[in-house]
Amino acid sequence: MEIVTTAAAMQRISEAARCAGRRVGCVPTMGALHAGHLSLLARCRADTELVIMTLFVNPMQFDRPDDLARYPRVLEQDATLAQQAGVDVIYAPSIDTMYPPEFATHVTVEGLTTRWEGAARTGHFRGVATVCTKLFTACRPHRAYFGQKDYQQTLVVRRLVADLDLGLDIVVLPTVREADGLALSSRNVHLSPEERREAAVLSQALSAAAASVRAGERQAERIRSGLEARIRTAPLARIEYAAVCDAETLEPLSTLDDRAIALVAARFGVTRLIDNAFLQADPV
């Protein structure tokens, strides 16, 4: 496994693989790898001949300096896990390499970024779109792999790739969860034992919402209010949003259709968690 730190070096490796007819896959990460990341790497390894994992804690997508400072950084551990997962190249640029003093270009995806995470985290998706554009330019992958937990992000990245003709496929894999349903996240390490126990309420609320749809509920507001009520049973949860939306546009629904998704975000102490679940309604 090789670790490279400049876009020029990464481009040379990727171009050589492409010229040799090898398919290039990329798994963008901010490190602090867990089983969710490893599932993406495993799929990338199965699909492609050159597996690139990017490792960059992107300051541009953090709306709070304290959140950026707390984000776990364990490069040596991440490198060991990446090698065990069959990664060929880690692309790990420095902040100064990615954003030198003269840096003046940003990428904005409109529409999809105005609600939910976009409203809660000022500038977040501009940071995501900018860093993904730079990572894809450096890595030149045929495919890039993301997890469903960051569902709104996956839609934004797909829109970015389509609009800028970047020429790669975005593959989204199911959220990997703990035994009690909590979605794996690098931020989970900041939960206290009590917060960790209560955080499972997010997936429980989503499961209850899906069950209500299977039982015949079609009114989005009833489903949404049920989500909120279930989350509020956890005393430490501070809800930021609970929404039932169109799964393509993320616009709130009044009546469920077959493209619905439930989105939730809540804080447990200083830790902010998000989760989601598709709500498959049978045609009425």
Cα 235 to Cα 179: distance, rounded to the nearest angstrom:
22
CB within 8 Å of 114: residues ≥ 6 apart: none
Q: Is 37 among the residues known to form the active site?
A: yes
CB within 8 Å of 24: residues ≥ 6 apart: 14, 17, 18, 48, 49, 50, 52, 139, 140, 141, 142, 143
Give the model's pLDDT for residue 140. 98
In angstroms, what is the C-alpha Rg of the chain? 19
Task: Please say whether the beta carbons of 146 and 172 come within 8 A.
Answer: yes
Percent of the chain scoring above 90 in pLDDT = 93
pLDDT band at 281 (very low <50, low <70, confident <90, very high): low
The mean pLDDT value for 125-154 works out to 98
| Selected catalytic residue, list 37, 124, 142, 190 | 37
Give the model's pLDDT for residue 128. 98
pLDDT in tens, 53-109: 999 999 999 988 988 888 888 989 999 999 999 999 999 999 999 999 999 999 999
The burial class, CB within 10 Å (0-12 / 13-18 / 19+), for 232 is: middle
Characterise 222 by phi-psi region: left (phi > 0), alpha (psi -120 to 50), beta (else): alpha
Cα 131 to Cα 116: distance, rounded to the nearest angstrom:
20
User: 17-52: b or e for each residue (b if 16 or more CB lie within 10 Å)?
Assistant: beeeeeebbbbbbbbbbbebbbbbbbbbbeebebbb
pLDDT band at 284 (very low <50, low <70, confident <90, very high): very low
DSSP state of 77: H
Give the model's pLDDT for residue 83. 97
The mean pLDDT value for 129-138 works out to 98
Q: Is the pLDDT of residue 283 over 90?
A: no
DSSP alpha helix (H) spans, the chain: 7-19, 35-47, 65-70, 75-84, 95-98, 117-120, 124-139, 151-163, 193-199, 201-214, 220-231
Task: Please say whether the beta carbons of 201 and 230 come within 8 A.
Answer: yes
* pLDDT higher at 283 or 231: 231
Sign of the torsion formed by the C-alpha atoms of 249, 250, 256 and 259: positive
The mean pLDDT value for 37-47 works out to 98
The mean pLDDT value for 153-172 works out to 98
